[in-house]
Amino acid sequence: AGVIRYVALFIMLLGTWFIVQTYFDYRWKTISLRSWLGEQLPRHKCGNQKSCPHNHFAFKIISGAANVVGPSICFNDVVLMSNVKNNVGRGLNIALVNGTSGQLLKADVFDMYSGDINKLDTFLQEIKHGTIVLTASYDDAATKMNDKVRAHFMELGSSHVSKLGFRDNWVFLGAKGLKNKSPFEEHIKNDKMTNKYDGWPELLEIEGCAPRKMD
């Protein structure tokens, strides 16, 4: 009976580990149960589930969790913004990348609760054609949001920014000069009936392959 109990406990611990396993964003190396057991798995850029085709950039964007854990942005296997890099903060965390070379152009944080919305307005206006824009929310992304700023994001390909509200979570990849709506966007409302955290919805994560600008 004692052996059976130990076996059952071991199985339960393995199951719990499998459920709660996560990854650490430094170098984006996935720590999985299978690799812990010795199975070597192929690693894709930004720790994504799949590799990207030629002339595409791998990316992963994770929003903040409540007002506790900051967001992270990875592009072409380089972490551009994260808690580890100490360059994220409350509001909207935005990284601009050259759509042809994949090189980081600029990264900044805009406090959307008590900051100056004109700073964000100017930032968005100055984005050049062909620039890829990666955005992750943290804590509150919309209190200072106005119609002018929402219009800028819509021009970058956003379908959800018009509905963005207090403490909503939002992750988005768009581009200046995009002719259609971006397929890379997730948005979850702040709703006390469905929030995962006390006063905040669960974090959001998107990953994928952004096409390189060829012309």
DSSP readout, 28-89?
GB---HHHHTT------GGG-SSPPPTTEEEEEEE--BTTTB--EEEETTEEEE-TTTT---
Looking at the structure, tell me whether residues 155 and 60 fall in a common domain.
yes
Total domains in the chain come to: 2
Domain membership flag for residue 118: yes
In order of 4, 18, 28, 135, the CA distances from 22 in angstroms are: 29, 9, 11, 22
For the segment 114-127, the average pLDDT, to the nearest whole number, is 97
The answer to whether 147 and 190 are in contact (CB under 8 A) is no
Residues 5 and 97 in one domain: no
pTM for this structure?
0.80
In a domain, residue 123? The reply is yes
Task: Tell me: do 133 and 158 sit in the same domain.
Answer: yes
Tell me: pLDDT of 189 over 70: yes
Start-to-end CA distance of the chain, whole Å, equals 70
Which band of pLDDT confidence, cut at 50, 70 and 90, is reported for residue 25?
very low
Give the lowest-confidence range in 57-61, 66-70, 118-122, 159-163: 66-70
The predicted pLDDT at position 149 comes to: 98
Do 26 and 91 lie in one domain? The reply is no
pLDDT at residue 188 above 90? yes
Do 148 and 81 fall within a single domain? Answer: yes
Residue 1 lies in a domain: yes
Per DSSP, 197 falls in state: B
Question: Domain limits at 105?
Answer: 45-211
Same domain, 10 and 102: no
Note whether residue 40 is domain-resident. no
Looking at the domain assignment, is residue 90 inside a domain? yes
- Mean of per-residue pLDDT scores for the chain: 88
In this prediction, residue 42 has a pLDDT band, given cuts at 50, 70 and 90, of: confident
Regarding whether 31 and 109 lie in a shared domain, the answer is no
For strand 78-81 and strand 91-98, is the pairing parallel, antiparallel, or unpaired?
Answer: unpaired
Q: Is 133 part of a structural domain of the chain?
A: yes
* 130 and 179 both lie in a single domain: yes
Q: Residue 208 is encoded by which pair of tokens?
A: 């994928």
Distance CA 192, CA 57 (A): 37
**Co-location of 28 and 73 in the same domain:** no
